[in-house]
Structure 1
Amino acid sequence: MTSEERVVVIGGGLAGLRLADRLGPAAAVTVLGEESHVPYNRVLLAEVLAGRYAPEVTALPAPGPVLRRGVRAVRVDRAERAVHCDDGTVAGYDTLVLATGSNAVLPPLRGLFEPGGRELPDGVHAFRTMDDCLALSAAVRPGVRAVVIGGGLLGVSAARALAARGAVVVLAQQGERLMERQLDADSSALLATHLTGLGVEIHTECRVRGLTTTTPAPPAFEARRSGGGAPGNGAAPGQRRVTGVELADGYRLDADVVVLACGVRPRTGLAQAAGLEIRKGIVVDDELRTSDPRIYAIGDCAEHAGQVYGLAGAALEQADALAAVLTGGSAPYTGTRALTRLTLGGTGDGSLDLAAFGETTPLPGDDVVRLTDGTRRTYRKVVLRGDRLVGGVLLGELSTVGALARTWEGGEAPHDLFHLLTDDGGH
């Protein structure tokens, strides 16, 4: 890549800005960022919702003039090598990078949308963007009844944050345990105990069927019926407002606020319309190149070797790898060994830190080493396959997670497992 080559990056999030930073000020880079906010670290949104951080604390390093905020790419013309934007501008490129991220999954719930409509009822929120976070934060106050649908990493984070704000929180998880993609049964049970201690009511193996809503009467009708006054539920006249969540077994949960934390889906619409190969995400090779040799993809939207990561660590590694490719490097991207970390704040009884990596559920023939300390509320488990560390879970105390993760990432044989698992060398 030369300084004259035009690099256009669609996506002003973590991956896109990291790439622009790695390419440096000498490169002719333009980043198109759909959101009007100052770029932020999405990982910290739960802390903003909990009231622990102000929104500005989440800001990423200032990208400078390379970023065009509030500009949405609407079409990629591969023949012209041009990106058409919603403000009428056209950005020509020699190299195009798709860092379009992912969208929150909106489940097919009865009552979520009106026939032919796409507007969520008042009180129903996704939890993916800063706008989502700020809208949800404005709706929450002590005593508000909040139902979180989804018990994965996002749902657990949202439930904890809402409880910290004084909401009465119910978490509904369709699977048999919380964070089932990252945690084993024992650590998931400990997590559930901790959340329950924070006041969160948890329902697992619980399928949500639909939402119940109400529509406030127009002001004139309301005045005749009640003798004056505006509707008191916060919704504008004629706008639907959520009142509850219906479960498949017929049980109904009252709700003032509903959070949809049902996972994310790669944003592939632009790539698909441009004729690029799409499976779960935008298919890329070991150089992060799509089926068009002038177009690359990184971050949540990219699928490499059948894997869509959806994690910040993978997005950063892919951005670094692509920067090396574009500046003449030859080291291929071989995938990311992802480590999940989460801190669940508490009041009075402290917080709970957790980390999970690799395969936390053993296969037949694997060895498992597990240490549990009920007094200190710690749980540590590692899975060994032959002489290799293939996964682990830690709750309550993470001082050894760095050493364990390095051993796992390096594919090394752990020489002294007790030193890796404990703070005192196993004594």
Structure 2
Amino acid sequence: MRVLVVGYGMAGSRAVAELRARDADLKVTALGAEPDRPYNRILLSTLLAGKVDADDLAIAAAPAGADVRLGEPVLAIDRARRIVRTTREDHEYDALVLATGSAPIVPPLPGFDRPEVYAFRTLDDCRRIVHHASGARRAVVLGGGLLGVEAARGLAGRGLAVDLVHRGPHLMERQLDGDGGRVLGRTLAGLGIRAHVDAVAEEWTGTALRLADGTGIPADLLVLACGVRPETRLAAEAGLTVAHGVVVDDALRTSDPRVFAIGDCAEHRGTVYGLVAPAWDHAATVADRLTGGSTAYRGSRVVTRLKASGVDLAAMGSPDAAADAEVVSFADPARGTYARLVIAANRITGAVLLGDNPLVGTVVQLFDRNAEVPADRRSLLLGRAHGGDAAAATESPALMPDAAVVCRCNTVRKAAITAAWRAGGRSVADVIAATRATTGCGSCREAVCGLVDWLSCVDPSAEVAA
């Protein structure tokens, strides 16, 4: 069977790897519009801040036997002939996987087509912003969602004075409530980022962003982080069912049973996730289906992580509370700390943890497993272990359960890291290669390094406490 994957970013490259791992004889071809090998898009803000190089973002090379074509954009899909037409040639397929991702939203405002205005979405975007920022003193970022906060932090990390402009009532309103958004704004202010909320942009003059209230914010460049929309043009032109994204069922099939969609472009049960963990769940489901399995995708429990220098945020579930839900919260704006839990039937349905909280991993685990929370809710809000002092149970890797998920993006548990070590992986790089830990959002790298350090100090053949 010939499987053709359109799009070779984080979702598409994972689909290729999953397919080849399941069936080494399967003919898999991937078409990537970008000339770069697949890279970790989540770490672009770290590159923007100058903390890493572009090479550090690269994802593992294509698996042996896969035919990967980079810099070959797709022009059209002919479903009747089962052919995909590119700028170079036609490719036949028996099964087609769309991993076309999403495209940045550029508001149709005056001046937004000028050369000093940049979208923040791709590696090439990031390179151009870095080049311009090297001679700049001030920047404006339009959009105070997750991507905008990351972009603002990255530019501030390069020493620029940054204004973050958001039309919503507070920053990151999809993940945070008002109190959390205000604490985040105060934290950013301490990092040299001035936030403007309830602010509507009207025009970029070339030297300033003019707002609807007449305010002008001077800057040398404007970075757009106004959100993204699923890239559905190819699917729509091919006659597939498209709503907000390409509509798929529990097998990730589109309205054509030979065509699948995964990642940012896919809409499952009315939801477009736009995050890496669901995209990789999609890739595994499709690979299983195309190699004879019957896996069904039922949706993902989403955890959003933002871990930039000076900003540590975890948000999960919905920030909204039902009438019968229990809501507990704690705020210490002076220290940049905020925590809020929404609990229903003694289980976490939504949570926000901003700032340093040693029990963030515990809260994520409780949410992930839909497990009951401790009777003393304060232990989760304040970072204290139930019935004791600061999270001693999470400080020693020996006390971490083998089933604990260390890398949520790839569902890598402590047991898998231990197994990789015992199989001969004696460095962090070896463990990453064996388990894929840290290759998603990267927020687990410190935990992985800690586990490897701990394993290097104990007998590799010794039993690990579970």
Shorter-normalised TM range: 0.7 to 0.9
Equivalent residue in structure 1 for 2:246, among 282, 289, 303: 282
Q: Does 1:167 align with 2:160?
A: yes
Counterpart CA distance in 2 for 1:258 and 1:420 is 39
Structure-1 residue corresponding to 2:299? 335
Which one-letter code corresponds to 1:391 in the other structure? G
Equivalent residue in structure 2 for 1:388, among 344, 347, 351: 347
Query: What is the 5 A alignment of 1:57-136?
Result: 57-64=56-63, 65-87=66-88, 89-112=89-112, 120-136=113-129
Which one-letter code corresponds to 2:172 in the other structure? M
Higher relative contact order (CA 8 A, sep 6+): 1
**Alignment RMSD (CA, Å):** 1.6
Structure-1 residue corresponding to 2:397? none
Task: Report the identity percentage.
Answer: 45
Equivalent residue in structure 1 for 2:180, among 187, 199, 213: 187
> How many residues end up aligned between the 2 structures?
381
DSSP-derived class of the 2:214 partner: coil
Counterpart CA distance in 2 for 1:148 and 1:160 is 10
Structure-1 residue corresponding to 2:371? 412
Deviation at 1:420, TM superposition (A): 4.4
Q: Deviations over 1:315-362 (max 9, x none)?
A: 1111111111112222310111110001131xxxxx221100002232
Q: Does 1:150 align with 2:143?
A: yes
Q: Which is further off, 354-363 or 267-276?
A: 354-363
Q: Deviations over 1:377-410 (max 9, x none)?
A: 4322211113221010111224323322232233
Which one-letter code corresponds to 1:138 in the other structure? H
Q: List gaps (5 residues or longer) in structure 1.
A: 113-119, 213-241, 346-350
Q: Does 1:259 align with 2:223?
A: yes
Counterpart CA distance in 1 for 2:301 and 2:268 is 13
DSSP-derived class of the 2:207 partner: strand
Counterpart CA distance in 2 for 1:86 and 1:31 is 14
Counterpart CA distance in 2 for 1:273 and 1:352 is 42
Structure-2 residue corresponding to 1:115? none
Q: Deviations over 1:148-192 (max 9, x none)?
A: 110000110011111111112111100010000001222211111
Q: List gaps (5 residues or longer) in structure 2.
A: 389-466
Task: Indicate if the aligned counterparts of 1:142 and 1:166 stay in contact, CA closer than 8 A.
Answer: no
Q: Which is further off, 142-151 or 352-361?
A: 142-151
DSSP-derived class of the 1:262 partner: coil
Counterpart CA distance in 2 for 1:377 and 1:425 is 23
Task: Indicate if the aligned counterparts of 1:143 and 1:166 stay in contact, CA closer than 8 A.
Answer: no
Equivalent residue in structure 1 for 2:325, among 334, 349, 366: 366
DSSP-derived class of the 2:192 partner: coil
Which one-letter code corresponds to 1:409 in the other structure? D
Q: Deviations over 1:119-157 (max 9, x none)?
A: x31110000000000000000137522111100001100
TM-score if structure 1 supplies the norm length? 0.86
Q: Deviations over 1:282-310 (max 9, x none)?
A: 00000000000100000000000000111
Which one-letter code corresponds to 2:271 in the other structure? Q
Task: Indicate if the aligned counterparts of 1:299 and 1:318 stay in contact, CA closer than 8 A.
Answer: yes
Which one-letter code corresponds to 1:191 in the other structure? L
Counterpart CA distance in 1 for 2:77 and 2:9 is 19
Which one-letter code corresponds to 1:187 in the other structure? G
- Distance change in 2, residues 1:36/1:406 (3 Å): same
Q: Deviations over 1:61-117 (max 9, x none)?
A: 001452111111111010110100012x111000000000000000121232xxxxx
Counterpart CA distance in 2 for 1:251 and 1:373 is 31
Task: Indicate if the aligned counterparts of 1:142 and 1:167 stay in contact, CA closer than 8 A.
Answer: no
Structure-2 residue corresponding to 1:322? 286
DSSP-derived class of the 1:355 partner: strand
Which one-letter code corresponds to 1:84 in the other structure? R
| Greater gyration radius | 1
Instruction: Write 1 or 2 for the structure with the bigger share of helix.
Output: 2
TM-score if structure 2 supplies the norm length? 0.79
DSSP-derived class of the 2:55 partner: helix
Q: Does 1:16 align with 2:17?
A: no
Equivalent residue in structure 2 for 1:269, among 208, 233, 241: 233
Task: Indicate if the aligned counterparts of 1:372 and 1:378 stay in contact, CA closer than 8 A.
Answer: yes
Counterpart CA distance in 2 for 1:90 and 1:374 is 58
Counterpart CA distance in 1 for 2:348 and 2:28 is 41
DSSP-derived class of the 1:408 partner: helix
DSSP-derived class of the 2:188 partner: helix
Task: Indicate if the aligned counterparts of 2:241 and 2:255 stay in contact, CA closer than 8 A.
Answer: yes
Task: Indicate if the aligned counterparts of 1:371 and 1:380 stay in contact, CA closer than 8 A.
Answer: yes
DSSP-derived class of the 2:110 partner: coil
Counterpart CA distance in 2 for 1:342 and 1:163 is 16
Structure-1 residue corresponding to 2:53? 54
